[in-house]
Amino acid sequence: KRVEFVARSKTRADELVALKKAIEILSSDGVSGNASKHLPKLTQMSFLQRSSIRRSSSVNKRVFDFLQSAGTRLGSSALALAAVRAQDGPFDKVTKMIQDLILKLKSEAHDETQKNAFCNKELAENKKTREQHSEQAESLRSKSEQLSSRKAKLADRRAQLSDEIAELNAEI
């Protein structure tokens, strides 16, 4: 279980790094605050507007490629979903979705850390109880051996006294 916990923690940390990198890309000067330039509001566009959309598409593709490769490398379905949404939607929605995903991952990490701490505490208590019971069992075994030895000595002494009584009765 400890190995699984460490693996999940590493994966979660890698996912957070990938998401932060995606946010960096989305927050860069070429993208941040330029939604009006990158997203057309009219059906007719000028040559400059089309150029701006192509740049937006390249940034969007960079985000998609980065999240997709990170998701594949880490085996994370959450990052793969973020990649698909980054490809489809406007940057504000993608950024919000990534931030929500980061909060969810942090919450899961916190929950898992608490569960791990609880399990470790329970294991320590169980180990302590097991050691106490082992000590008690050993003490009882030792006492049992002492009593068995004493019983054998008393049986010998009884037999010896019985023989002496028999000799005294024979003399009388």
Query: What's the pLDDT tens digit per position in 102-153?
Result: 888 888 889 988 999 999 999 999 999 999 999 999 999 999 999 999 999 9
* CA max distance for the chain: 140
Query: What's the pLDDT tens digit per position in 18-43?
Result: 777 777 776 666 655 554 454 444 33
State the residue for tokens 């208590």: 125
Confidence (pTM): 0.43
Mean pLDDT of the chain: 77
More confident residue, 67 or 39: 67
DSSP, residue by residue, the chain: -HHHHHHHHHHHHHHHHHHHHHHHHHHSTTTTT-HHHHS--SSS--HHHHHHHHHHHHHHHHHHHHHHHHHHHHT-HHHHHHHHHHHHS-HHHHHHHHHHHHHHHHHHHHHHHHHHHHHHHHHHHHHHHHHHHHHHHHHHHHHHHHHHHHHHHHHHHHHHHHHHHHHHHHH-
Report the pLDDT value the prediction gives residue 50, as an integer from 0 to 100: 40
